[in-house]
Chains A and B, each alone.
Chain A
Amino acid sequence: MEKNFELAKLSNENLLKLYKQVDEYITFLEKEKKEKGTEE
């Protein structure tokens, strides 16, 4: 994933989709951390 040449091959639209995917994934992880971290 960290190989830039792969990203360079992506169309503008797919690059933005991928960014959105990662962003949503991070939001999910943050939510998990918050919810599970506060459970007693």
Chain B
Amino acid sequence: MSDILVEFDKYISTNKDVLNVLPINTKKNRKKYIEKVEELEETALKIKKVIWNEIEERYERYIDVVPNPKISELSKNIRSVEEIDLFNELNTPYEKLGFDRITHNLDCFFEGNLDFVNENINAFINKFKDLGIELSEEDFNYSPYTNEYMKVFFEDGITSGDFSSEKLKKAFEKIYWKCPDIVTHIELNMRYLYYINSKKIEKELNSRNEKILSDMNLDKNGLVKNFFEMNKELLTLQRTDSKAILDKFLNDEWKIKDFGEKDMSILYERLSAKNYFSASPKEQEEINDNFVKLLNTLYEYNAYIKYKFIIDDLKEKYKHKDTLQDSYEKKNKELRQKEQELLKENKKYKRNLKMSKKAWLIFIRKKLEKKVYEFPVVSNAKIKELKNLYLELDEEVVNSRIVEFVDDNCTIKYMFKIVISFYTYAYKLAKEYYKDDPDIDIEQELQGLIDFINQPYKVMLNNIKLAEESEITSIIANRYKILNINLEQEDLEENLDTLLEDVGKIVDYYNITKSSLDIDNIAFVEKVKTMIAKNKKQ
């Protein structure tokens, strides 16, 4: 016990002795006794205040940690090469520039939300504008209804910038009752507009990409390498950043008791073939580095299991690779022919409408009016047919990439990259996979896959080939046995969550020790934080 604690203990005992000998048999004596107690209390409260000041001063000093400035600097540099998606060799400018997300939004999330529809139409128009293509109502002639709505959209929405206006709502409602498929008409009109401008857009994108590379003085491979290397450095800095670690304790995400020496010894003993605590600092560093590698592999394996259904679908397509040759071209040709037929019919309709108002011979007028009357139903049936063809074409574009890029030597990572390059396809697969689980947020699940593919640690999936997929757990276990880690295939197949938690804890512990934080100070902060909260409540 420290001297000061002993001294204070004596001080308390002495005071208690003083109180014990004071008589309390009469009212007067009791009054004197209370006066003495109050005097002692006043002194004790002063002492308490002095100690609390010292506690608070230490607390403030320990939590006064700033994030490593390199983190924000590196994040800024990464943002400057975030356009890496524009260089994806697998997809087309339609996906690279995010047109697929806009049409996908209209296709999947309309559900009566007109503001959402208008926001997406506006985003589409703005993307074209950014590419130097100015659109007008005249470009929206997929159906008379599309034209009718877009006329108001340009006149009212674009001019005022208010896409929730009453005028737009009224125009939409009026059309909706005549044509409930209006949003599909607009969506397909957009896809058609992209198609007829695709060459121009591709040229513009290529010239922009060339400029990006020349400004950075890099080639495409250099840009990709730069992106992943910077992300790797950022991740390492974030994982060992004192501020980030301390925040985890302050936010109750981590508890210091979970990193106690006893708990950590048990974990190291179970997972490391070498005795960690008797190892030299250099050996300890090596052991921990191997656990960091294992944790990254476990994250990869976990993501692989989660999204395996996607790989399975691609593999099924790959089995029938020979039948997929030219299927994209054929489907595209069929679609474009039907689209031209529709557009011709639209022109005819406009002519008939005009002439029906002018025709003076009653039987001609009646004939024209009949054609005008029948047109919406015929046109809508054609648009529905076109919609299906577009959906089939979305599938065919993925098939065409399988034909071009997939063989037995293709890595699992590359298969995932194909999927995230075509969002509509990935969404359709995920929707089917999670059909019995309505609580799953499919967009969020897919974002998880995109984030995973864009993070730098994909050593395993970057190397394991399609042909080796069945041996994946044995490859991982053997790899880490060589690095003196006790890992069996069954741990991966049956206890992955526990394994992730345990290895994660070792890596967290390692990161704490690598940071500038002191475990004893963290424990102090954790306790004082609770005391402050308690004091505030009182």
**Taking beta carbons and an 8 Å cutoff, which residues of A are in contact with B?**
1-2, 4, 6-19, 21-23, 25-26, 28-30, 32-33, 36-37, 39
In the complex, B381 has a CB within 8 A of chain A: no
Task: Tell whether, in the assembled complex, residue B38 and residue A33 are in contact, meaning their CB atoms are under 8 Å apart.
Answer: yes
Q: Given known contacts A16-B524, A33-B41, is B54 in contact with A4 (CB within 8 Å)?
A: yes
Give the distance in Å from the alpha carbon of A10 to the alpha carbon of B33 in the complex. 34
Which one, B2-10, B81-89, B405-413, B415-423, is touching chain A?
A: B2-10
Give the distance in Å from the alpha carbon of A30 to the alpha carbon of B520 in the complex. 33
Indicate which residue in A8, A16, A39 contacts B527 across the interface (CB closer than 8 Å).
Answer: A16
- A18 to chain B minimum Cβ distance, whole angstroms, is 6
Task: Tell whether, in the assembled complex, residue B44 and residue A29 are in contact, meaning their CB atoms are under 8 Å apart.
Answer: yes
Question: Which B residue's beta carbon lies closest to that of A19?
Answer: B51
Interface residues in B485-516 (C-beta closer than 8 Å to A): none
Closest 4 CB pairs of A and B: A12-B524, A7-B54, A29-B41, A14-B2
Indicate which residue in B7, B9, B40, B46 contacts A2 across the interface (CB closer than 8 Å).
Answer: B46
- The residues of A that contact B523 with a CB separation of less than 8 Å are 12
Give the distance in Å from the alpha carbon of A1 to the alpha carbon of B15 in the complex. 15
- B431 to chain A minimum Cβ distance, whole angstroms, is 54
Task: Tell whether, in the assembled complex, residue A10 and residue B34 are in contact, meaning their CB atoms are under 8 Å apart.
Answer: no
Give the distance in Å from the alpha carbon of A13 to the alpha carbon of B2 in the complex. 10
Question: Which A residue's beta carbon lies closest to that of B42?
Answer: A29
Indicate which residue in B4, B16, B38, B521 contacts A18 across the interface (CB closer than 8 Å).
Answer: B4
- B contact residues, total (Cβ < 8 Å): 38
Task: Tell whether, in the assembled complex, residue A10 and residue B2 are in contact, meaning their CB atoms are under 8 Å apart.
Answer: yes
In the complex, B50 has a CB within 8 A of chain A: yes
Give the distance in Å from the alpha carbon of A30 to the alpha carbon of B48 in the complex. 14
Assuming A4-B50, A21-B5, A23-B48, what are 8 further A-B pairs, CB within 8 angstroms? A1-B8, A10-B2, A10-B54, A12-B524, A18-B4, A19-B48, A25-B12, A30-B41
Question: Which B residue's beta carbon lies closest to that of A33?
Answer: B37
Task: List 24 A-B pairs, Cβ < 8 Å.
Answer: A1-B50, A4-B50, A4-B53, A12-B521, A12-B523, A13-B520, A13-B524, A14-B1, A15-B54, A15-B58, A16-B527, A18-B4, A18-B51, A19-B51, A21-B12, A22-B51, A26-B48, A29-B37, A33-B37, A36-B24, A36-B33, A36-B37, A37-B30, A39-B24
Give the distance in Å from the alpha carbon of A10 to the alpha carbon of B45 in the complex. 20
In the complex, B55 has a CB within 8 A of chain A: yes
In the complex, B52 has a CB within 8 A of chain A: yes
Question: Which A residue's beta carbon lies closest to that of B2?
Answer: A14
Q: Given known contacts A14-B4, A26-B48, is B9 in contact with A21 (CB within 8 Å)?
A: yes
In the complex, B47 has a CB within 8 A of chain A: yes
Which label, helix, strand, loop or mixed, suits the secondary structure of the B interface? helix
Give the distance in Å from the alpha carbon of A37 to the alpha carbon of B46 in the complex. 23
- The residues of B that contact A26 with a CB separation of less than 8 Å are 41, 44-45, 48
Of listed B9, B40, B44, B51, residue having the most chain A CB within 10 A:
B51
Q: Given known contacts A8-B54, A26-B45, A30-B41, is B34 in contact with A14 (CB within 8 Å)?
A: no
- The residues of A that contact B12 with a CB separation of less than 8 Å are 21, 25
- A14 to chain B minimum Cβ distance, whole angstroms, is 5
In the complex, B244 has a CB within 8 A of chain A: no
- B492 to chain A minimum Cβ distance, whole angstroms, is 41
Question: Which A residue's beta carbon lies closest to that of B54?
Answer: A7
- The residues of B that contact A22 with a CB separation of less than 8 Å are 8, 44, 47-48, 51
- The residues of A that contact B38 with a CB separation of less than 8 Å are 33
Question: Which A residue's beta carbon lies closest to that of B16?
Answer: A28
Task: Tell whether, in the assembled complex, residue A10 and residue B4 are in contact, meaning their CB atoms are under 8 Å apart.
Answer: yes
- B423 to chain A minimum Cβ distance, whole angstroms, is 52
Question: Which A residue's beta carbon lies closest to that of B7?
Answer: A1
In the complex, B237 has a CB within 8 A of chain A: no
- The residues of B that contact A28 with a CB separation of less than 8 Å are 16
In the complex, B314 has a CB within 8 A of chain A: no
Of listed A11, A12, A17, A19, residue having the most chain B CB within 10 A:
A12
Task: Tell whether, in the assembled complex, residue A6 and residue B48 are in contact, meaning their CB atoms are under 8 Å apart.
Answer: no
In the complex, B63 has a CB within 8 A of chain A: no
- The residues of A that contact B528 with a CB separation of less than 8 Å are 16
Q: Given known contacts A2-B47, A32-B19, is B24 in contact with A16 (CB within 8 Å)?
A: no
Task: Tell whether, in the assembled complex, residue B30 and residue A39 are in contact, meaning their CB atoms are under 8 Å apart.
Answer: yes
Give the distance in Å from the alpha carbon of A7 to the alpha carbon of B8 in the complex. 12
Task: Tell whether, in the assembled complex, residue A16 and residue B8 are in contact, meaning their CB atoms are under 8 Å apart.
Answer: no
